Structure 1
Amino acid sequence: MDLYEIIDPSFRSFILPNATLDTLGTGFRWLEGPVWFADHNCLIFSDIPNDRVLRWSETGGVSVLRSPCGFENGHARDREGRLISCAHHDRCVTRTEWDGRITVLASHYHKRRLNSPNDVVVKSDGSIWFTDPLYGISTDYEGGKEVSELAPAVYRLDPSRAKLEIVADDFEGPNGLCFSPDERILYLVETGQQFAAHPVRHIRRAALTDDGTRLCAATVFHEVVPGGADGLRCDEDGNVWTSAGDGVHCLSPEGVLLGKIRTNTPVANLAFGGRHRSRLFVCAGQTLFGIYVNRRGAVRP
């Protein structure tokens, strides 16, 4: 099977014909939540069913950062460079301080427990946006079976005021999040109900209000086939790189499928990193891949 599938001729300039899909680690259960730490030259990511957060570096390979970890899934960095994490089992969003202490940033909404925070992004104003589906409390595999106290939703947290508010509540299974490079658009993944015969699966696109704190009405941006989307990232030109059932799909800012990187296994999440943010790290089930591309990951304001 060819590594690349070129659907739009423009995709030829996005890829490097002599770049390989490197296996950086394997033997995991289900990888998620990659985030690049440029100042430490390493990738942080989660092996959710094994209840551990892992670290990969070019020189050190894969090591355990912390375990147990509350079945953490998505990760991001705040404006001070600290690790922000979504914990399925502990049903909260946390911040890892520089001395290693864990601060719980959000665990309840109107005195009701969150479900299982899944993915998270941090905006340039310091606000933390995260999804809260039921996935982590629906089974014991990625968290633990518990009763839901809230409907699935997308939240915005202002950590300076400890203010948590819902920005979208019309999702069955809100999942991956990604801001456009200028932060005027938020892409949101709908993966539907976990055990539904035909779950609703698509990527939505929502403009932010002028003050950047709310979402305007969201529209369907793209339906990923096969498998549906999970995690996604933007490059600096606004193209959307998303997980799919057969690898990584690259979409134009208009939602047109430009091409694919085939992994021969379903992909859950991805992140840009490396010296120039032009290495794509891919969490594909039991394997962590890396591949150099001819695009750089977005750096927001």
Structure 2
Amino acid sequence: MSYFEAIDPRFSQYMIPVCSLETLHTGMRWAEGPVYFADGRYLVLSDIPNNRMLRWEEETGQVSVFRYPSGFSNGNTRDRQGRLVTCEHGNRRVTRTEPDGTITVLADRVGGKRLNSPNDVVVKSDGTVWFTDPPYGILTDYEGHKAESEIGGCHVYRCDPQTGEVAVVADDFVKPNGLAFSADERQLFVADSGRSHAPDAPHHIRVFDVTNGGRLTNGRVFATIDPGIPDGFRLDEDGNLWVGAGDGVHCFDATGKLIGKILTPETVANLTFGGPKRNRLFIAATSALYAVYVNARGIQAP
């Protein structure tokens, strides 16, 4: 049985038939937030309920603990200086790891109130940090610390590390989740995974136009995810969006049409392109980290 499904003939061009879906590591409770370090040939990912981050070495395949405790870390990315930026459910904050290993808090409050549990994060070329803040880390003690929301809503934020300003850029989401900029940064894609706790809630990805002033306008639904909910996602150089879903990775073309799937044994939470040529798709799916080479390249990342 093939691990991929071509819903549109165009998807076949991105698959390499001689390449298999590889299992790189297992034993996690909820794998999330993979981020690839091209300069070190390794990948870091979160194992949220186990309150740790793991490091997978590309050259040896060895896995070690990168950070424990991790503050129940979730999404990760790198800024333009190559520093690790992390969303921490348990500490309800977004942090940056400096070259010497010290941790700088970028955002933990807005209007004097604690954030819910930052989930996923991206860094724009101007250095601003954009992140989502659903309540998953405060709903139970399983992936954070159970608590009431101080904000009373779940929003998308922009943080300016230079000034410390944290501003709401979108406040009409049920549970904002994964997010990513288009290659030219003129659009921002944001998932709403509201259906995780309510069957009639959103399970789609919206796309916004980004103004020069950093505001979001013209929000509209880009694609609906089924089965499951949209979680993390990445874009390739052709403008396709590769999205974590209930049965694997869903690939949408630039118009929002589903063209194919990479089928996995477990629900996919997040993914990233990596490898020296950015043509290896790393997939964080519940208890395991998977990878597959594809005939596509992720858009350039730090």
State the TM-score, normalized to the length of structure 1: 0.97
Closer, same or farther: CA 300–76 of 1 in aligned 2, 3 Å: closer
Whole-angstrom CA distance in 2 between matches of 1:17 and 1:193: 34
Closer, same or farther: CA 12–197 of 1 in aligned 2, 3 Å: closer
Whole-angstrom CA distance in 2 between matches of 1:193 and 1:23: 28
The AA in structure 2 aligned to 1:237 is D
How far did residue 241 of structure 1 move?
0.3
How far did residue 60 of structure 1 move?
4.5
Closer, same or farther: CA 262–212 of 1 in aligned 2, 3 Å: farther
Partner secondary structure for residue 29 of structure 1:
strand
Provide the alpha-carbon RMSD of the alignment: 1.2
1:221 and 2:242 are equivalent in the alignment? no
1:44 and 2:31 are equivalent in the alignment? no
4+ long deviations beyond 3 Å: none
> What do residues 200-241 of structure 1 show as CA deviations (whole Å, max 9, x unaligned)?
2100011111x1511003100000111121000000111100
Q: 1:169 aligns with which of 171, 177, 181?
A: 171
How far did residue 264 of structure 1 move?
2.5
> What do residues 169-218 of structure 1 show as CA deviations (whole Å, max 9, x unaligned)?
00010000011111111100000164324332100011111x15110031
Closer, same or farther: CA 273–10 of 1 in aligned 2, 3 Å: same
Judge conservation of contact 2:89–2:119 (CA < 8 Å) in 1: yes
The AA in structure 1 aligned to 2:75 is G
Q: 1:160 aligns with which of 162, 182, 193?
A: 162
How far did residue 65 of structure 1 move?
0.4
How far did residue 94 of structure 1 move?
0.3
Partner secondary structure for residue 53 of structure 1:
strand
How far did residue 144 of structure 1 move?
1.1
1:293 and 2:294 are equivalent in the alignment? yes
Aligned partner of 1:203 in structure 2 is 205
Question: Percent of counterpart pairs with the same letter?
Answer: 56
The AA in structure 2 aligned to 1:233 is R
Partner secondary structure for residue 99 of structure 1:
coil
Counterparts of residues 1-301 of structure 1 (less than 5 Å): 1-58=1-58, 59-150=60-151, 151-192=153-194, 194-209=196-211, 211=212, 213-299=214-300
Judge conservation of contact 1:52–1:65 (CA < 8 Å) in 2: yes
Closer, same or farther: CA 42–212 of 1 in aligned 2, 3 Å: farther
Judge conservation of contact 2:193–2:229 (CA < 8 Å) in 1: yes
Whole-angstrom CA distance in 1 between matches of 2:27 and 2:66: 17
Query: Gapped runs of 5+ residues in structure 1?
Result: none
The AA in structure 2 aligned to 1:43 is L
Whole-angstrom CA distance in 2 between matches of 1:265 and 1:60: 21
Whole-angstrom CA distance in 1 between matches of 2:213 and 2:235: 18
